[in-house]
Amino acid sequence: MINVNNISKTFMVPHRVDALVDVSENVARAEVVVVIGPSGSGKSTFLRCLNRLETADKGQILIDGVDILHPKTDINKVRAEVGMVFQSFNLFPHKTVKDNVSLAQNVVRKRSSKEAEEITMALLNKVGIADKQNVYPDQLSGGQQQRVAIARALAMNPKAMLFDEPTSALDPEMIGEVLEVMKTLAREGMTMVVVTHEMGFAREVADRVIFMDDGRIVEEGTPEHFFTNPSHDRTKLFLKQIL
Amino acid sequence: MQRHPASKFAFIRGVMTHMESTSSLLQKQQKRTYYMWVMVFFLIMTTCIGSLYYCTLKIDYTWRWYRVPQYFFFNEEIEVRTDVAGTVESIEDTTDGTLIRINGDDGDSIDYAYPSKKVRIYEGDSLFEGDVLGSYHKWQVGILLQGLWLTLKVSFVAIIFGILLGLCAGLARISSNPAFKWLAITYIEIIRGSPLLVQIFIWYFVLGTLVNTMLAQYGIPQVPPLWFGVASLATFTGAYVAEIVRSGIQSIHKGQTEASRSLGMTYAQSMYHVILPQAFIRIIPPLAGQFISLIKDSSLLGIIAIRELTKATREVVTTSLQPFELWFVCAILYLVLTFTLSMLLQYLEKRMIHS
């Protein structure tokens, strides 16, 4: 589903940072991969490279067989197939919840208003905020906003979902409701790449956990292996610090 | 955003019910202070207006305000003249005026009707072409109101074109395409950096002459100075609007672009549906300032023979010799225009925020 071959990314502004160094990774269909690591380890950059919000300097990225770094690739088509959820939700504040979810359906997928509305309502039901359909985002709690953001991404019928620290900006009591939606998605067989600090989620839902540090993948494996018997010293130190 | 301020207020409210008397005392004092400062405001305003009035009394000038209204509306006496030579056949009083029938020397008879009883001829008179038959009064719009209307018209058209130009230039300014970007920067810097007066001269005497010479070669009617004036104001405003649009767009959080692009929207779709609607609300206040400037800048158009409000005032001052009254009136008329615009945009801003 997602094939990453030897990508590198260096930021020159404000100063030189090698965010990704020769990273390779494959994510199979319906697989849930959780990426963890200290801040500045390149995990978010890695995720953002997957739908070219950041353009990798070197290497190759195939999304469902499409080389997204090829100049002839229509990146908008690829992005419509890969949903993304952000740490800061990024809902459109000038649109109601319903319009947030249906906007891209109309504009990108060219669905009729009626069809889009049906899909929107089904998704809002699924994430449990159908009663807030006519409310503006700033009237929702963080957890509700993030669930709308997930519904918005799902409305495009994506083949894979990318989550960039979806619970990091939430109050503790709201993390659960967002994770619950993500677990449902995982059970339904969605291909997911999740950058998170929620070790509980990683342990419970992940098929594979990747630990990144300094722009490199240090260690990866099943959650059992990862949390009970990590082989790398850097991983052991990180786990000791956060658990 | 994620905190619940409601609980905090509930706590304060709880405390307040326990200390009802103290809190009502506090409220009373806050109210008193508020009204005291309202009084201060009116006191300062009265002092200002009073001293201005005192100054006007002290200067060696005879104020003749009664001469001003005629430049808004005046009752003009219009004379009715005959177009043919002949004899007056009949003079009839109709319900709302006079009907005069003239038997022309060439045999035709012609009727003249006008809304007044003033007649200067008698039945049987022989008339020459151009003789006055009678007269009536008619209310006409004065030169100041005409000037005000022209200022309004010029500003309105210039604002519309200025917005369009500024929007294009602003989008070009943040484009990554070097041709667009550098063109926009050149345009903005040159127009903002040079005097409007010189730009008006260039538009009228250089570009205008060129355009009208070319049009004359093909027998097409000339473009009147008004349109070169509008063009100069629109390009001038466009440069400022471009910078306002640019800052408005850049003030929208980067996450909005990322979210819309990650859904598969193109750059244009993301701009149109997500970024510009949000930016527009934020740029209304600076735009209002810019448009107020534009209305006042239109006073420079007098130099290319466009009789807008300022030029009209100057002409009236020359004939009436009452400069103080008329320039005051001129300023007040500009104030009426700018204040109305300001209120209109504030209303628009409020409405957009609420919807």
What are B48-82's pLDDT values in tens digits?
999 999 998 888 888 888 888 989 999 888 888 88
Q: Do B2 and A170 touch (CB under 8 A)?
A: yes
Contact residues, chain A, for B284 at CB < 8 Å: none
Contact indicator for A10, A56 with CB cutoff of 8 Å:
no
Asked if residues B112 and B133 have their Cβ atoms less than 8 Å apart, the reply is: yes
Distance in Å, alpha carbon of B10 to nearest chain A alpha carbon: 19
The residue assigned the tokens 């018997």 is: A229
pLDDT digits (tens, 9 = 90+) for A89-128: 999 999 999 999 999 999 999 999 999 999 999 999 999 9
User: pLDDT band at residue B187, thresholds of 50, 70 and 90?
Assistant: very high
A53–B261 C-beta distance less than 8 A: yes
State the pLDDT at residue B86: 87
Residue with the larger pLDDT of the pair B10 and A181: A181
* Joined tokens for residue A132: 């807030």
For B117-140, the pLDDT digits (tens) are 888 888 888 888 888 888 888 898
**Among the ranges given (A177-181, A230-234, B165-169), the one the predictor scored with the smallest mean pLDDT:** A230-234
How does pLDDT run across B205-218, given as a tens digit for each residue? 999 999 999 999 99
Is beta strand A160-164 parallel, antiparallel or unpaired with respect to B86-94?
Answer: unpaired
ipTM higher than threshold 0.85: yes
Contact B262/A at CB under 8 A: yes
Question: Nearest residue of A to residue B273 by CA position?
Answer: A103
Is A153 within 8 Å of chain B by CB?
Answer: yes
| pLDDT value, residue B15 | 53
Distance from CA of B2 to the nearest CA of A (A): 5
- A153 CB neighbours in chain B (<8 A) are 262-263
pLDDT digits (tens, 9 = 90+) for A49-80: 999 999 999 999 999 999 999 999 999 999 99
b (16+ CB within 10 A) / e for A112-144: eeeebbebbbebbebbebbebbeebbeebbbbb
Task: With CA atoms as reference, report the closest residue to B236 among B301, B201, B192, B174.
Answer: B192
Q: Which residues from A are below 8 Å from B267, CB to CB?
A: none
**Is the sign of the CA dihedral A26, A30, A36, A39 positive or negative?**
positive
Mean pLDDT, rounded, for B258-276: 95
Say what the pLDDT of residue B21 is: 67
Region B228-257: mean pLDDT is: 95
| Alpha carbon of A173: minimum distance to chain B alpha carbons (Å) | 11
The b/e string for B235-256 (b: 16+ C-beta within 10 A; e otherwise) is bbbbbbbbbbbbbbbeebeeeb
Is the pLDDT score of B236 beyond 90?
yes
Q: Are B262 and A83 inside 8 Å of each other by CB?
A: yes
Mean pLDDT value of segment B311-327? 92
- Check if A92 contacts B (Cβ < 8 Å): yes
B258 to chain A: closest CA residue: A53
Percent of chain B, pLDDT > 90? 62
Predicted TM-score (pTM) of the model is 0.80
Q: How far apart are CA A65 and CA A58, in angstroms?
A: 18
**Cβ contacts of A233 within 8 Å, gap of 6 or more:** none
- Residue whose entry in the numeric block shows the structure tokens 């070669």: B217
Distance from CA of A91 to the nearest CA of B (A): 7
By Cβ distance, the residue of A108, A142, A171 closest to B265 is: A108
Look at residue B16 in the predicted model and tell me its pLDDT.
Answer: 52
**B2/A142 Cβ within 8 A:** yes
Of the candidate ranges A104-113, A184-193, B110-119, B327-336, the one whose mean pLDDT is the lowest: B110-119
The H-or-E segment that residue A177 falls in is helix A172-187
Chain B positions touching A83 (Cβ under 8 A) are 262-263
Q: What are the C-alpha distances in Å from B101 to residues A46, A136, B96, B110, B132?
A: 97, 76, 16, 6, 14
Q: What pLDDT is stored for residue B216 in this prediction? A: 92
Question: What's the CA gap between B226 and A102, in Å, rounded?
Answer: 47
Residue B17 has pLDDT above 70, yes or no: no
